[in-house]
Amino acid sequence: MEIKQTRLDELPSWAALKANAAELKGQSLASMFEADASRADEMSVDFGGYHYDFSKQLASPETIKLLIACAREAGIEERIKAMFAGEAINVSEDRSVLHLALRAPKGDEIIVDGVNVVDQVHEVLGRMGDFTDKIRSGEWKGATGKPIRNVVNIGIGGSHLGPEMATIALSHYSDREMKFRFVSNVDGSDFAEKTLDLDPEETLFIIVSKTFVTLETLTNAGTARDWIVDALGEDSVEHHFVAVSTNAEGVAKFGINTDNMFGFWDWVGGRYSMDSSVGLTIMCAIGRENFAEMLAGFNAVDEHLRSAPLEENMPVLMGLIGVWNRNLLNLPTVAILPYVAEMARFPAYLQQLEMESNGKHVMLNGDQVGWDTAAVFWGEPGTNGQHAFYQMIHQGTEIVPTEFIGFCDPIYPLGNHHDLLMANMFAQAEALAFGRDAETLRAAGSPESQISARICLGDRPSTTLLIDGQLTPRALGTLVALYEHRAFTEGVLWGIDSFDQWGVELGKVLAGTLADQLMDADKPDLQHDSSTNSLARRYRASQKRPV
């Protein structure tokens, strides 16, 4: 497809944005708030019970206007339309990018190669629903006639992080009579530890792999097969394994009946797939109705992305603030700080979403970018992080833009826990923005010898997403979709393909060669650099293999 390829540094508004950044340099957040009483209102947007406050950014309302102008000049509106129309905006793989279709309501129409993919999506959702009903009700039996009580998701990357993150996040909505486990790492400890206390008679493995060739997943799936067959015999496999994949041939070759396979499509990227059949474990945990609620949350954001003016478009604004911090203020990381214990795996989920999508060095036309792309995403839930790494965020030499996420209502209304949790979240953002100067410390009676060590300089930017209600399936879908479209927005400005991931290929190829060489019974011909050769020899020696 014909995609308008623009260079970020040649956009008409880019120079004005750079001038704006230079102008704001040295201005404190305290002075900006003082000068503009309506700053918090001006620099925040609302959508569907989500309040996004970006007034504590090192930016002005003018900055936001210029960022929006840049987004327009970069063609974001056209690219949103192209994505919804199923055009091949994943240029390097010549594919449509249609995770939007995964949550489109029944009756919608998105045509790819003459087929309405929304109908296909709902056909698979129906099969998933019927299957999960059987698992949850106990109608689906293991080989010895016992109902399934344990579901083990085997997959990695997008086939792991979404199912794990969401199942943990929505544990309050899940069937507490059942156990849900997630095996991803090729380290045998992962499989061993996660299955240690499980009874094979009551255990179902869901093997999730878009390609069904991924080394880690196929290795773990093989081990799972042995674990079941050793306990229950060869004929038991069909009762204890189902697959989620786009590769029916691979699934059949592995020995899983393709009647027990749930498909998806090449227009769903792995990191955008938790709302496809890749979310089968999530649906087993929370049930089909709650899964449908989660999809409705995703869909609401899709409709917002498509219809809201850029000035009020929450995911677009989130992406533009990402670009501001990355490219105008040159800040290399982003800390994701959910004040929700259940969202412990959300930062890890976002790492793949942002860093696999936008960690790119060339533009769509193959030219080198001349600016930074994906920031390093990291984080932990509050308040835990406060007692670990926040010291560095408050007083370290590196400025870390932080993203606070909190819900107005708790899942468990225990005593005053939630008030304390929220007080901490608001306090951290306030402390980061406004700091504490020597005068304040002196007035509070601080010994003179401690003043310099206790000063917090402030002007550490943060955003706060304050969400009505509690963490529900719908709220989680909304949140994930906001971040999906935020990554998309950044990618459009950076001029890159946010939907391929060629960078992971080389390591996989080299691992294949090295795996053969490490396992070779004879001395292998090691042709690597001297460091890799020496490490391989040392490892072989440790395994008593010839070196």
Which of 56, 99, 225, 271 is the binder for ligand F6P (CB under 6 A)?
A: 271
Query: How far is 113 from 131, CA to CA, in rounded Å?
Result: 29
Task: Rule CB under 6 A: choose which of 99, 103, 181, 210 binds ligand F6P.
Answer: 210
CB of 273 to ligand F6P, least distance (A): 7
Q: Please list every residue from 350 through 369 that binds ligand F6P, using CB under 6 A.
A: 356
Q: Which of 260, 277, 287, 262 is nearest to 178 (CA)?
A: 287
Report how far residue 185's alpha carbon sits from residue 164's, in angstroms, rounded to the nearest whole number.
13
Distance CA 454, CA 391 (A): 11
Can you tell me which of 209, 236, 358, 428 binds ligand F6P, judged by CB under 6 A? 209
Smallest distance from ligand F6P to CB 349, Å = 11
> 112: part of which helix (H) or strand (E)?
strand 111-112
Task: Output the smallest distance, CB 345 to ligand F6P, in A.
Answer: 15
From candidates 90, 159, 277, 462, binder to ligand F6P by CB under 6 A: 159
CB of residue 346 to ligand F6P, shortest distance in Å? 17
Closer to ligand F6P by Cβ: residue 210 or 418: 210
Residue of the chain from 157, 406, 491, 524 that contacts ligand F6P (CB under 6 A): 157
Residues 258 and 254: their CA atoms lie apart, in Å, by: 10
| Closest to ligand F6P by CB, 270 or 385 | 270
DSSP type of residue 354:
I
Least CB distance to ligand F6P at residue 270 (A): 3
Question: Which own/partner pairs from 523-526 qualify as long-range (CB within 8 Å, at least 24 positions apart)?
Answer: 523/547
Site string for ligand F6P, 223-262 (x = CB under 6 A): ----------------------------------------
Q: Under rule CB under 6 A, which residues in 471-490 are in contact with ligand F6P?
A: none
Q: Using CB under 6 A, which of the segments 155-163, 187-195, 225-233, 459-467 binds ligand F6P? A: 155-163
Instruction: Say which residue the tokens 């992406």 belong to.
Output: 319
Judged by beta carbon, residue 43 or residue 102, the one nearer ligand F6P is: 102
| 9 alpha carbon, distance to own chain's centre | 28
Nearer to ligand F6P, 351 or 501 (CB): 501
Backbone angles phi, psi at 237, to 5 degrees: -55, -45
Give the residue, chosen from 501, 517, 526, 540, that forms a contact with ligand F6P under the rule CB under 6 A.
501
Q: What is the DSSP string of 165-190?
A: HHHHHTGGGS-TTSEEEEE--SSHHH
Q: Which is nearer to ligand F6P, 158 or 461 (CB)?
A: 158
Span from 71-79, 189-197, 210-218, 412-420 in contact with ligand F6P (CB under 6 A): 210-218
Helix pair angle (215-232, 188-195), 10° resolution: 40
**No. of helices (H) and no. of strands (E), the chain:** 22, 13
Q: In angstroms, give the least distance from the CB of 355 to ligand F6P.
A: 11
Q: Select from 207-215, 295-303, 449-457, 520-528 the region that touches ligand F6P (CB under 6 A).
A: 207-215
Q: How far is CA 471 from CA 294, 430, 478, 482, in A?
A: 11, 24, 10, 15
* Cβ-Cβ contacts under 8 Å for 502 (sequence gap 6 or more): 92
- Min dist CB 132 to ligand F6P, Å, is 20
For residues 479 and 476, give the distance between their C-alpha atoms in angstroms, rounded to a whole number. 5
Which residue, 277 or 383, is less far from ligand F6P as judged by CB?
277
Interface region with ligand F6P, contact rule CB under 6 A, candidates 150-158, 172-180, 397-405, 409-417: 150-158
d(CA 67, CA 112): 33
Nearer to ligand F6P, 472 or 501 (CB): 501
Collapse the DSSP code of 156 into the 3-class scheme (helix H, G, I; strand E, B; otherwise coil) and give the result.
Answer: coil
Residue 242 or residue 466: which is nearer to ligand F6P going by CB? 242
28 touches ligand F6P by CB under 6 A: no
3-state secondary structure 311-335: HHCHHHHHHHHHHHHHHHCCCCEEE
The label of the residue with tokens 């609401």 reads: 300
* Active-site residue set: 356, 387, 508
Cα angle vertex 173, ends 171, 174, to 5°?
A: 65
Total number of residues that touch ligand F6P (CB under 6 A): 14
Output the smallest distance, CB 504 to ligand F6P, in A.
4
Sequence-distant (6+) residues with CB within 8 A of 63 are: 17, 20, 21, 24, 57, 324
List the one residue from 118, 156, 305, 422 that touches ligand F6P (CB under 6 A).
156
Using the rule CB under 6 A, give the single segment among 65-73, 151-159, 428-436, 472-480 that binds ligand F6P. Answer: 151-159
Q: How far is the CB of 218 from ligand F6P (least distance, A)?
A: 9
For residue 450, the one-letter residue type is: Q
Q: Measured between alpha carbons, how far is residue 306 from residues 79, 168, 299, 477, 541 in Å?
A: 10, 30, 11, 17, 59
The stretch near ligand F6P (CB under 6 A) out of 78-86, 137-145, 156-164, 517-525 is 156-164
Angle between the 280-307 and 76-84 helix axes, to the nearest 10 degrees? 130
Q: Which of 270, 381, 495, 524: binder of ligand F6P (CB under 6 A)?
A: 270
- Cβ within 8 Å of residue 395, ≥6 positions away: 456, 457
- The least CB distance from residue 217 to ligand F6P, in Å, is 5
Q: Which of 25, 1, 23 is nearest to 330 (CA)?
A: 25
Question: Considering beta carbons, is residue 214 or 498 the nearer one to ligand F6P?
Answer: 214
Residue of the chain from 158, 279, 319, 491 that contacts ligand F6P (CB under 6 A): 158
- Closest approach of ligand F6P to the CB of residue 269, in Å: 7
Catalog residues that contact ligand F6P under the rule CB under 6 A. Answer: 156-159, 209-211, 214, 217, 270-271, 356, 501, 504
